[in-house]
Structure 1
Amino acid sequence: MMRKSFLFVFLFFAHYFLIYGQDTLATVTAEKGDGIYSLLRKHGVNPYEYYHEFIDINMDNLRDSLHLLEGRTYIIPKVELDTVPVVDSIQKQAKKVKEIASKTYDIFGEDHKTVLSKSERLKGAIYYLVSGHGGPDPGAMAVYKGKSISEDEYAYDITLRLAKELLAHGAMVYIIIRDENDGIREERILEMDRDEVAYPDKVIPLNQLDRLQQRVDIVNDLYKQNKGAYQRLIVTHVDSRSEGQNIDVFFYHHEKSQNGKRLAESIHKTFEAKYRQYQPNRNYSGTFEDRTSLFLVKKTHPAMTFIEIGNIRNEKDQRRILDPDNRQALAKWISEGVILDFEER
């Protein structure tokens, strides 16, 4: 009896210290170049699951409610493991983490290819994601620290991150512009290339009108194949204006599409709420409006929204576009607006 009591006490304290004994290691100092995602990753915490919790508990220590400050100390969220003891041997007390459903998609790159299931909130929904330009057309361009940067690379990275978020919530996703070599990238300067293709592996034409028509044809053909299902199109671009013009994320939709308007409005409402939460001293001036003159807005069949992320030539907007943490936040916020739209349909 005494031996059983000792075993119970041993297992209880082993469990306690494995789960809660990391309190003394729960603070870290941000180093130069650290972002929230990279910091959480370095300390064994899934950044996609604990990003917002990290922000909530470190709000007073973040610049613009989103950025780490070098030399500051931050609290790492406590990861609560769902565990069961393995009773082979007391000396090798082991823990088995509850398995989470996952799938792998090579297009996200080696470090990001595993998509963990978060929910089935988008089950039955189909999304077509089109990132602007690509192939022979880099889109809007600028120079950052002496290096050329282009719209297509950043729109594509945000689109991949959005695709991963939507898949994690049970949606079916078609990535229309594709680069099998890039994947989701964590660098600020994304190297330019011209090897993007259109779904599934079509060469992107040199002529602008042909490029746009190719995307329209691909989306409309898929729309017909999936007739009867809930289908939406999201197009992502980066704008180019004068260097002094700082803009917020804004959205377009077809003037006659109530579903498209609602999708754009749902994402817009989400961005307004996020700005109130994380940047309460800054007004969000992004808009949603009809812009049927845009080729993809006018010609594609699914209800859709066309998103402009920012001005690639403006220094403030460049921080939004170049910082990988910001690109992830943009994708996350868009996905939350998409979920809002789907659940309120």
Structure 2
Amino acid sequence: MLKYHQQFGGIFKMNLGFFKSVQIGDPALLEILLRMETPYPKRMEIKPWKMYREYRGEDYGLLTLDGKYNAHQMMEYLGPLLVTSADLHKQFNTKAWKNHTEAWDYIFSTAKCFIDRRLKSNPAWKNDLLNTITSNYPLTNKQLSGLFTELQIGGVETTANSLLWLLYNLSRHSEVQKKVLDEIQTVLLPGQPPSTDCLQKMPYLKACIKESMRLTPTVPFTSRTIENDTNLGGYLIPGGVIAMINFHSMAWNENYFPDAREYKPERWLKPRTLANSFASTPFGVGKRMCVGRRLAELQLQLTLCWIIQHFYICTTDNEPCKAITSGLMVPTRQLPVSFKKR
């Protein structure tokens, strides 16, 4: 999408089959849009997901309320159903609909299996997330499976993918790894596990994660449904139109980030010089920002700290690794990364 914004500017209209949208790649326009939001802003409806739940009689999770297959494969199958009529795919039982349905069937069956097993497990494990939820809220097993399947997609896949890109970026910059290790050794004693308090004293480690999420964002876009006729950038956007917010295009814009395609964690340690703080928002911003942001950041910080303490992150080849967007931004090949014990 970056090349389209370079050609057409910070806002333009794009029609893909049945999908009509306004594309936003300007942080100033994004700020205006978000400041005009209603108390309950709407994202683009993921209609195929809702249709699957109605088709199978499953419950909704947080995303759909407003093995053989995995969440990554399900996201791959989603694309064709968004830009063409999902109703027609379902009516004619096309291959795209079958793949989408089979992927969700597998995800739901796996979730139900683990939920049932966990609820019947050893009482000593009753302080985990699942049992905390069931102890405080009268949810049925059906509601729990609807919640946890989307938790896997919205939390597990995204955080894991962010970690992959982080390791890839660090494998290409041994000098950055050394700086992270020096910082860790300044804060922690040999063999001491990191704590949240210790992480507050590791700004460079956090900068490495932030820079990776700018350069290779797992979620390169989000959406809003324009609820009322809105003037944005001198254009009148009718109510009901989908606004696609392209994080990746803004984060690779040289106007906001000099040497935008280079991995430079140091840029986040300087006094704030961004022309607009909305230029890099990998977790989104506003009322619909990622609900798991703090948990994801903590997981990445703890994981990176442990890995750097114990391993060198090495690259196995120097060929660039391209990315494709399939719901998430994923590498086109196996990442050329290996670990060498310190």
TM-score with structure 1 length normalisation? 0.24
Which of the two has higher C-alpha Rg?
Answer: 1
Larger % of strand: which? 1
TM-score with structure 2 length normalisation? 0.24
Larger % of helix: which? 2
Which structure is richer in relative contact order (CA contacts within 8 A, separation 6 or more)?
2
